[in-house]
Chain A
Amino acid sequence: MLRRVLDWLESRTGVETAVKHFLYEDIPASAGWHQVLGSVALFAFMTQAFTGVLLAFNYAPTPGDAYNSLRYIVTELTAGRIIRGLHHWGASLMIIVVVLHMTQVFLWGAYKKPRETTWMVGVVLLLVTLAYGLTGYLLPWDNRAYWGTVVTTQIASQAPGAGPYLLRLLGSDGGSIGVVTFARFYAAHVLLLPPLTMLLVGIHLYLIRRHGVTPTPQDEGIPKKKFYPEQVFKDTVATFVWFAVLAVMAVAVQVPLGRIADPTDISFIPRPEWYFLFLFQLLKLFEGPLEIVGSVVLPTLAILTLFLVPFLDRGQVLRVRNRTGAIALVALGVIGWSGLTARAVATTPPSTESPNAGLAEIEPWQQIPPDQLAAIGYFRKDNCGNCHILDKSGPGPDLTKTPSHRPDDWLMQHFRQPAPNAPATQLSGAELKTLAAFVTKRDDKAVEAWISAPQAGVEGAMVYEANHCGMCHQLNGVGQKVGPPLNGLADHRARDWVEGHFADPQKFTPGSTMPPYKLSSHDLDRLTSYLLEIPK
């Protein structure tokens, strides 16, 4: 049956002949493990295309929404984290395999006549691969993406003569990164580069078939072998090893997601992806008017040299071990690249923002107003939970099921004398009122916080309430706006600053009308920690 279907397909399309023609290609007897890298690179590209399309199914390509939809992918969607991991680490691993492929071809001298154009198309493919990295870097739209791209566009702006036009092309007129830049980078990443890659890969493969896999001098007079199955087996094993590394990384290594891009956050230290770090470091070697040497002249020269390699080396094809010049050049390249990269890693100060700041789960207690969180503290302080066991049945009603229906005066009475011989309350009248309001009006989020809020955070909110911070500041939607709102304080203030500011506001903010607060070290610690944990 299958035979008949295949025969029908063969007679109508010739597909079987085509596949056989592809698989039973003659290759030199010397072909082997060193030539698997091109196949692995092609597979890497296909994996990127596959995971890229999957990401696009849940990704909204405009600033703001881009970040939120990516966050949705990695926090809300099952396996979303793995898909992003495959795409992110796949990009890095693709760069590695592409560079290794090029190094192998270079060492073996496989770019020599008649394969010059195969090499040159390959160099363009390398640039296209790097362009994916550059444009894809902006797409998460977190601080890392934003500030990294600011540096990129600044470098582009230094190109002599073409700088301003290049900037305009990148949608970054005047050097700022905005919606237009984002649209350009996205369109390049998903609309321009993929078809271009397919076209170039097609030409590259056509040229390889036209000239055949490069033989070595030892192949002279030895009969050729077939591509299938031995070489296909080696290609598959290499591809599998590459994929296994990728799969392990996608599952085990979390891809960072910082906070949403904030153009006013000038404290963020930008750094490019690891494979661009050496360029980043190169820039530091040239100062002042010479900077252009590092940012434009040297990279351009390097690309041109790479492109013209087949014309610079026109000697006889030699055995690899006799190509000492090529080996020395590769060694020099590896040393130079590693040195610059290591130096860049060592000299870049650590980021002020945790790389996974955007992935931190925001808990209910961080979202409810401070008076409610403080009320949870009053409930705990007066040991109300001894009778009112939360989320379980106990001597008193479970207050998490339904809000209390009792009128305020009943509640106040109850708080003062909960049971005939219960100890007297330790709370003030104002605190009791806050507690009464809480048990009658709490919403579902407050109930979750009631059960799960950490005691340190609760105590912070109690200090906040005791010092009436809400008279001037707004936090989680409650309080006056005389002073600045306090949500997201951690994004722009360090702990030392906040603690110092309580003791002497005018010293840190000249002209501030905030009075100094003499807090005990315990209270100061709790309040500061609390404020630094409330997100934007």
Chain B
Amino acid sequence: MDTQSTTRRSFYSAVIYGLGAIISAALALPAAVYLLFKPRSQKQAQWVDAADLGQLQIRKPEEVVFRRTRVDGWRVLNEKTTAWVVRMDEQHVVAYSPQCTHLGCAYHWDDRQKYFICPCHTSAFSIEGKVLAGPAPRPLDRYVTRVDSGKLLIGSQIERG
């Protein structure tokens, strides 16, 4: 084979591989972005009126039921949610997410023993949300809250305990 034909052959294969690589990248890149990037969320932080402060007794946890909208893909759901609300003192209120930090079971307040107890693996939490016993790896998760003219407002974010 003479050199001219060899040069031409290597030019051909360089172009084949080069253009092939460009096409593959131009397809793979948007695909990766499309699958891996978070949806541009249109949901704003929203505050839901959950309870009247006056009706909460100090250091007595209450399971409060409220409705909130949640965005699930292309759906906006209006669903019932609960929170364990504790009025710590005159000014401070905490709202715990109703799921145990171990495996997500619903726990409840044991009024005699004065702690939160999870029925699944007997994790126990203090009224401040700290782990007292059991396999739970961290304190109870909390909703962000705000008090406004005597109303307890619960936000959409959850702070990890």
Cβ B12 vs Cβ A78 within 8 A: no
CB distance from B38 to the nearest CB of A (A): 8
Instruction: Report Cα–Cα, A445/B19, bound state, in Å.
Output: 49
Count residues of chain B with CB under 8 A from any CB of chain A.
30
Our pick among A54, A79, A229 for the contact of B13 (Cβ within 8 Å) is A229
A82 is an interface residue with CB less than 8 A from chain B: yes
| Interface membership of chain A positions 229-241, coded 1 if the CB is closer than 8 angstroms to chain B and 0 otherwise | 1101100110110
Complex contacts, A51 vs chain B, CB 8 Å: 27
Which listed residue (B15, B19, B34, B75) contacts A79, Cβ 8 A?
B34
Stretch binding the partner chain, chosen from B41-49, B51-59, B83-91, B115-123: B41-49
Does the CB pair B9–A83 fall under 8 Å?
no
CB distance from B70 to the nearest CB of A (A): 15
Closest to A448 in B: B44
Is B1's CB within 8 Å of the partner chain A? no
- With contact pairs A69-B73, A236-B19, A405-B149 given, residues A78 and B13 touching in the complex (Cβ less than 8 Å): no
A402-B27 Cα distance, complex, nearest whole Å: 47
Q: Say yes or no: B19 contacts A80, CB within 8 Å.
A: no
Are B22 and A233 closer than 8 Å at their CB atoms? no
For the A-B complex, the count of residue pairs with Cβ-Cβ distances under 8 Å equals 82
Docked complex: B1-50 residues within 8 A CB-CB of A: 9, 12-13, 15-16, 19-20, 22-23, 26-27, 30-31, 33-35, 37, 39-42, 44-47
**Does B148 make an interface contact (CB < 8 A)?**
yes
A262 within 8 A of B: no
A82 to B29, CA, bound (A): 11
| Chain A residue at minimal CB-CB distance from B73 | A72
Distance between Cα atoms of A448 and B26 in the complex (Å): 38
- A residues near B30, Cβ cutoff 8 Å: 79, 82-83, 86
Would A76 and B42 count as touching, CB distance under 8 A? Answer: yes
Q: Which residues of A contact B47 (CB under 8 A)?
A: 444
Q: Say yes or no: A77-B12 contact (C-beta < 8 A), given A50-B31, A243-B23, A444-B44.
A: no
Question: Is the pair A240, B19 in contact by a Cβ cutoff of 8 Å?
Answer: yes
A76 touches B40 (CB 8 A): yes
Asked whether A78 lies within 8 Å of B46 as measured between CB atoms, the reply is: no
B23 touches A239 (CB 8 A): yes
- How far is B47's CA from A444's CA once the two chains are assembled, in angstroms? 8
Residues of A within 8 A of B20 (CB): 236
Chain B residues in 8 Å Cβ range of A79:
30-31, 33-34, 37
Residue of A nearest to B40 (CB): A76
Asked if A230 and B12 sit within 8 Å, CB to CB, the answer is: yes
When chains A and B are docked, how far (Å) is the Cα of A263 from the Cα of B79? 30
Contact A47 B27 (CB under 8 A): yes
Q: How far is the CA of A403 from the CA of B148 in the complex (A)?
A: 9
User: Taking CB as reference atom, which chain B residue is nearest A70?
Assistant: B74
- A77 contact from B13, B22, B23, B39, Cβ within 8 A: B39
Tell me if B34 and A80 are in contact (CB < 8 A): yes
CB <8 Å contact, B35 and A54:
yes
Tell me the bound Cα distance from A82 to B33 in angstroms: 11
Within 8 A of B (CB), among A204-242: 229-230, 232-233, 236-237, 239-240
Write the chain A residue with the least CB distance to B13: A229
In the bound complex, residues from chain B placing their C-beta under 8 Å from that of A405 are: 148-149
Bound Cα distance from A165 to B97, whole angstroms: 57
A60 interface contact, C-beta 8 A: yes
The answer to whether B74 and A69 touch across the interface, beta carbons within 8 angstroms, is yes
Q: Is the CB–CB distance between B45 and A402 below 8 Å?
A: no
Q: Is B148's CB under 8 angstroms from A402's CB?
A: yes
Given contacts A236-B20, A240-B19, contact A72 B39 (CB under 8 A): yes
**Cα separation A79 to B42 with both chains bound (whole Å):** 16
- Could you tell me if B27 and A77 are in contact, using CB atoms closer than 8 angstroms? no
Interface residues of B (CB under 8 A from A): 9, 12-13, 15-16, 19-20, 22-23, 26-27, 30-31, 33-35, 37, 39-42, 44-47, 73-75, 148-149
Q: Given contacts A79-B33, A405-B148, could you give 10 more A-B pairs where the C-beta distance is less than 8 Å?
A: A47-B27, A68-B74, A71-B74, A77-B37, A78-B33, A79-B30, A82-B34, A237-B15, A243-B23, A403-B148
Point out residues on A near B: beta carbons under 8 Å: 47, 50-51, 54, 57-58, 60, 65, 68-69, 71-72, 75-80, 82-83, 86, 229-230, 232-233, 236-237, 239-240, 243, 247, 402-403, 405, 443-445, 448
- Can you list 24 A-B contacts with CB-CB less than 8 angstroms, sorted by A residue number? A47-B27, A50-B31, A51-B27, A68-B74, A76-B41, A76-B74, A77-B39, A77-B40, A78-B33, A78-B40, A79-B37, A83-B31, A86-B27, A86-B30, A239-B23, A240-B19, A240-B22, A240-B23, A243-B23, A402-B148, A405-B149, A443-B46, A444-B45, A444-B47
A-B residue pairs, 9 tightest by C-beta = A72-B74, A229-B12, A233-B12, A78-B37, A79-B33, A79-B30, A79-B34, A68-B74, A240-B19
